[in-house]
Structure 1
Amino acid sequence: MRILYGVQATGNGHITRARVLLPALRAAGVEVDMLFSGRQPDRLFNMEPFGDYRTCRGFTFVTDAGRVRRLGTLKQSRPLQFFRDYRCLDLNGYDLVLSDFEPVTAWAARRQQVPSLGIAHQYAFYHRIPGTGSAPLLKWSLQLFAPVDEAVGVHWHHFNAPVLPPLVAPSPYPLTEEEGKILIYLPFESMDEIRYLLRAFPEYRFRIYCNIPAPETQGHLEFEPFSREGFQQDLCSCAGVIANAGFGLCSEAIQAGKKLLVKPLQSQIEQRSNAVVLEQMGLGRVMPSLETEAVEDWLALGSGTPSPWPDVATALATWISTGRQVPIQVLTRELWRAESGNMLSLC
């Protein structure tokens, strides 16, 4: 089997999922080529595991001070470039297009009538997920953005739908807890506002990952350039995580048992829903804006408990490589049953 695997690269969550699923597919004997869109190629990092991958412009959103800017997003979109990209993408020789909410490969597959499969957090919103009631056109907009023949969503709960647990690799380093060490990943927020927020807590060490060329230290604030390995080391050793409400990092923090405080990206329905689910399931605290009081209350909380996710990647890779003969509902039940030993068990 030969697959073209398209990954939305706007955030790191999609890429993190691909880092888990790609080796599982290759281990199952599948030949996989990679395509990434939604980010400038020079802003991708630690991409060696993907080999000789391709990039396209695709679509992304423009943010400013923690909010999606709809007008700016519209202005920077290049629909004619997207049209050319998906029409020129040659899918000859591929048995399947796999899309992690990546529009170029999804639309190319539809145009050339190549079978397509979507695996992404966004596809969970094809079903009734808490926090989405104010977006009646959500499913339609998702189908328009990256249409696939079969859509498989992932989430922290099944919600009585064929939704899988997150695709997360086991923690790569020993799980420890350095007292007072807090990991910060707020790429959509103003750096000045982050500094102002954290100034009131000099007794803590804040490890802040951001778009800088080299490490910097400003008192109790430690700024680090983007690094997959360095970030994973800090995630495994920190006492807690403050982040936007992206699905990938929250899933890793839950697995590692790190207490979690999220500030959802405003005007972004996915993150708003994620925040609702985190609170409803007792998996994290939410602050609508960068608030000192919310951080103070959260810092006083105790540690979490590690909660490993099942091996979704291997199960999916086997399912795909054997022709998806078993209905996705069966695979869903099996994987959530494997989760029944911890706090996210089936009711």
Structure 2
Amino acid sequence: MKIAYSVAGEGLGHAARMVCLAPRLAQTHEVELFCPATVRDYVLERLPGRTLRDVPHFSFIKKGDRVLFFATLATAVRRLPAFVREVFRLAELLKAESFDAVISDFDPYLAWAGRLAGLRVVQINHPGVVMRNLSFNPLSWPAVLAAFLLEGPWNRRILCSFYGGDVGPLLRPELLSQPRRDSGSWVCHLKPEYHDVVVPALEKAGLVPYELYPRKGGDFDAALASARGVISSAGHQIISEALVLGKPILVLPQSGQYEQILNARRLERSGRGWRATRKNLESRLRGFRFWAETLDKNSPYHDDTETAVTLLLAHLGEAPIRLKTSSAQSVAKTLARSS
């Protein structure tokens, strides 16, 4: 079976799942990878020698560290004609090169192209979990809408999450192979714009020594596996890695980003981590420092890559859904009207 596998380009969690899954899928199938430019280097560094095909991506509009969902939606609407043209191009490519199925990790371009080409589309991602967590919190409403739109169409979907997912966390093999120990150093994985707030708070709260990531030339996998504890954003992938490795973690969810807010709440509910805001960061770090010493390092979480691969292969092995000519034409007309 020839599979086209694409990922979203916002953050690195989608690309990290590709790095976990693509080599396993390639053992039994022909797999072509489609990556946005934003994650291309990340994937190539971890899957050297692979040929990557380009695919565009939608990105969030932000003000500081706050996600502006309605501005993001407005920008997406303006880009709709270009989106439609790219979907048609990709659909022709899928048909011309005789692809049999599509795997999409929160990428609507290849998902829609696969549907237009009459192929089976399997969606595997984490952000879709917000649709299982719609609440009275107004932030959840645009998040659910965004997740629905950005997933695109699918025949089967697998949600990866340390809470409420079909499968649990997926970790990269090179991270899992690192020796786990406590070097006494704290690992801070945050964007540089956080450093002016976080670094003074770390020092005042006594979380020293510490290592700042991402940084050029740094070995983040080794640092994480040997960390005393982790301070990071509330992205699902970094939380999952800390949980599986048994590392205490304190997270700062991105303002206005409901998925991260939900991740942080579920992390705290798990009893394996804390959450904080910029305003209460120093005081929370002080408490986190002492709590981290008491955490049982034998984590109940584990890498669930095997389960994810099994589910993917099962879904891909189902009979291909070939659209009738009239149905394919209907999809094409719907996309054309959008332009």
Partner of 2:89: 88
Judging by fraction of residues, say which structure has more helix. Answer: 2
Change beyond 3 A, Cα 1:120–1:131: farther
Structure 2, unmatched stretches of 5+, are: 319-339
User: SS in structure 2 opposite 1:94?
Assistant: coil
Partner of 2:162: 156
Provide Cα deviations, 1:54-101, integer angstroms capped at 9, x if missing partner: 123311113344322447646865444333222211212111110111
User: SS in structure 2 opposite 1:5?
Assistant: strand
TM-score (norm 2): 0.80
Provide Cα deviations, 1:196-253, integer angstroms capped at 9, x if missing partner: 333425660221113xxxxxxxxxxxxx2276xx110000011000001000010010
Amino acid at match of 1:154: C
Change beyond 3 A, Cα 1:311–1:299: closer
1:55-74 aligned within 5 A: 55-70=54-69, 73=72
Q: Distance in 1 between matches of 2:177 and 2:45?
A: 16
RMSD across aligned C-alpha pairs, in angstroms?
2.9
Partner of 2:290: 300
Aligned residues: 306
Amino acid at match of 2:59: T
Q: CA deviation at 1:44?
A: 6.7
Partner of 2:259: 270
Q: Is the 8 A contact 1:245 1:262 kept in 2?
A: yes
Provide Cα deviations, 1:27-58, integer angstroms capped at 9, x if missing partner: 2x111111123727568762534710112331
Q: Distance in 2 between matches of 1:234 and 1:253?
A: 11
Q: Which moved more, 1:12-21 or 1:35-44?
A: 35-44
User: SS in structure 2 opposite 1:315?
Assistant: helix
Q: Distance in 2 between matches of 1:209 and 1:131?
A: 35
1:97-136 aligned within 5 A: 97-128=102-133, 135-136=140-141
Q: Distance in 2 between matches of 1:103 and 1:203?
A: 42
TM-score (norm 1): 0.78
Change beyond 3 A, Cα 1:242–1:45: farther
Q: Does 1:187 pair with 2:191?
A: yes
1:237-276 aligned within 5 A: 237-276=226-265
Q: Is the 8 A contact 1:262 1:286 kept in 2?
A: yes
Q: Is the 8 A contact 2:254 2:261 kept in 1?
A: yes
Structure 1, unmatched stretches of 5+, are: 211-223, 327-347
Q: Is the 8 A contact 1:177 1:237 kept in 2?
A: yes
Amino acid at match of 2:34: L
Partner of 1:320: 312
Change beyond 3 A, Cα 1:130–1:237: farther
Percent identity over the alignment?
25
Q: Is the 8 A contact 2:12 2:39 kept in 1?
A: no
